[in-house]
Structure 1
Amino acid sequence: MNYKERIVADHQIMLGKPVIKGTRITVELLLRKMSQGAAVQDLLVMYPHLEEKDIQAALLYASDVLANEEVIHLNAA
């Protein structure tokens, strides 16, 4: 799956946060709901216009962002 088909970031929508294309539902919101115990099926009920592929795309997007994150270690003085 290519998440770029379903996840967009536009500075005019939700201040540029990544959202599900065609919605104002942020990747952050979906991840937060899942971290609080919501299952994919729960999200589909809460947001009936979403598809399971949208949620999979959000998870893939988040994992790609973390995989490409640079960690800078600062030495304590």
Structure 2
Amino acid sequence: MDYRDRITIEPDKRGGKPCIRSLRITVYDILGYLASGMSEAEILADFPVLEPADIRAALAFAADFERRLMAIPSL
């Protein structure tokens, strides 16, 4: 699965933050819920519009972002 099929960035939605499938739920929202201890099942129950693949896409996006950030040479 390519996270780019599920993560959208639109300047007029949530300030251009990466969102799940053009919804108003950001990648950062999903990561925050997971970091606070919510399970995937709890997130999906609270947000029925989400699919399990959306949560995996948020994680893949974050991993790719971190990988790219670490590739930037130190100044």
TM-score of the superposition, structure 1-length normalised? Answer: 0.89
- Cα distance in 1 for partners of 2:31, 2:24 equals 14
- 1:22 to partner: Cα distance: 2.9
Instruction: Name the structure 1 match of 2:36.
Output: 36
The structure whose residues are more often helix, as a share, is 2
Instruction: Name the structure 2 match of 1:5.
Output: 5
Which deviations, in whole Å up to 9, do the C-alpha atoms of 1:45-74 show, x marking residues without a partner? 01001000000000000000000002625x
How do residues 1-77 of structure 1 correspond to structure 2 at under 5 angstroms? 1-69=1-69, 70=72, 72=74
- After TM superposition, the runs of 4+ consecutive aligned structure 1 residues lying more than 6 A away are none
Give unmatched runs, 5+ long, in structure 2.
none
Please say which of residues 39-48 and 64-73 is displaced more in the overlay: 64-73
Classify the secondary structure of the residue corresponding to 2:29. helix
Classify the secondary structure of the residue corresponding to 1:68. helix
- 1:8 to partner: Cα distance: 0.6
Identity %: 34
Query: Which structure would you say has the larger Rg?
Result: 1
